[in-house]
Amino acid sequence: MTTILVTGGTGTLGRHVTERLRAGGHEVRVLSRHSQPYAVDLREGGSALDAAVTGVDTIVHCATTPRGDEQAARNLIAAARRAGVTHFVYISIVGVDRVPFPYYKVKLAVERLVEESGLGWTILRTTQFHDLLVKMFQGVSKPPVMLLPARVKDQPIEVTEVAERLAELAQGAPAGRVDDMGGPEVRTFESLARSYLRATGRRRPVVKVPLGGAAYRAFRAGGHLAPEHAVGKGTFEDFLAARAGKGGGRAG
Ligand SMILES: NC(=O)c1ccc[n+]([C@@H]2O[C@H](COP(=O)([O-])OP(=O)(O)OC[C@H]3O[C@@H](n4cnc5c(N)ncnc54)[C@H](OP(=O)(O)O)[C@@H]3O)[C@@H](O)[C@H]2O)c1
């Protein structure tokens, strides 16, 4: 049995990782700003972070925050080094080195920190979780017309499959950058949005808007896709159907 700290272990991905590691018989600590007894703001670090990391063999870093992920990673890595952690596992995003989107630039910077940390490390990059697309479509379907970026595709993946892989990696030896993981289908945003509208019983005219800028060009070129690693099984429709079964369907 090893002691594993899952940062962001209450989040969309982290809670599934935590569940799987606990099922594997490990002692799992969950760290987030609100989860006692390891309620820590990683951007601040301090003695509470040191206490959370003391005695830990492996860290799975799933926490993320709109601003401050780089400082958070610096604090976490420094604490991990002090505590003699042997394996640092980081979840990243396919294309962080190809798409100059601000959040992706931060993810890439954190990858570099992990690689240069002196700790044993593993980095897994995946495509977008189905949950994220639903959140996005919820937002853009509020106005009477649904505006979507023109000529952009996506390859969403089921988060429980990512959690399974991440838990597997966390239980193994440091592996460096492992193969990217993408969802089963590369689809246009429009086709994914129409599936969402159908599943939630909403009617919206869809208007595709060409956007400017380097990040948009890189998304349009498919920099965030991994068609050669379409290893995911669950489709967006499977996800929407399961969600509807849990009461998150119509008007959801
Ligand atoms: N979503 C995607 O499509 C996708 C795709 C590929 C990779 N990823 C990566 O997967 C990871 C997890 O994403 P997610 O969608 O599961 O995130 P999420 O649902 O937003 O969860 C974020 C977690 O981080 C914790 N957290 C936030 N700020 C914190 C802070 N300052 N200090 C400590 N904990 C903090 C949150 O809990 P508290 O609020 O209690 O702090 C929560 O547990 C991220 O690194 C993300 O980049 C996501």
Choice from 33, 42, 169 to test ligand 1 binding pocket (greatest atom count within 8 A of CB)? 33
33 pLDDT above the threshold of 60: yes
Tokens of 28: 């799992």
- The mean predicted confidence, pLDDT, of the chain is 96
3-state secondary structure of 4: strand
User: Cis link prior to 184 (omega < 30° from 0)?
Assistant: no
Q: In the structure, what pLDDT confidence band is assigned to residue 246 with cuts at 50, 70 and 90?
A: confident
Ligand 1 pocket test, candidate residues 5, 7, 31, 32, most atoms within 8 A of CB: 32
Determine the Cα–Cα distance for residues 31 and 215; give it in Å rounded to an integer: 32
What contacts 71, CB < 8 A, 6 or more positions away? 42, 43
Segment 168-185, tens digit of pLDDT: 999 999 999 999 999 999
Helix or strand or coil: residue 150?
coil
Dihedral-angle region of residue 201 (phi above 0 means left; psi in -120 to 50 means alpha; beta otherwise)? left
Residue 11: its pLDDT value, please?
A: 98
Number of residues written out for the chain: 252
Fill in the amino acid letter for 186: V
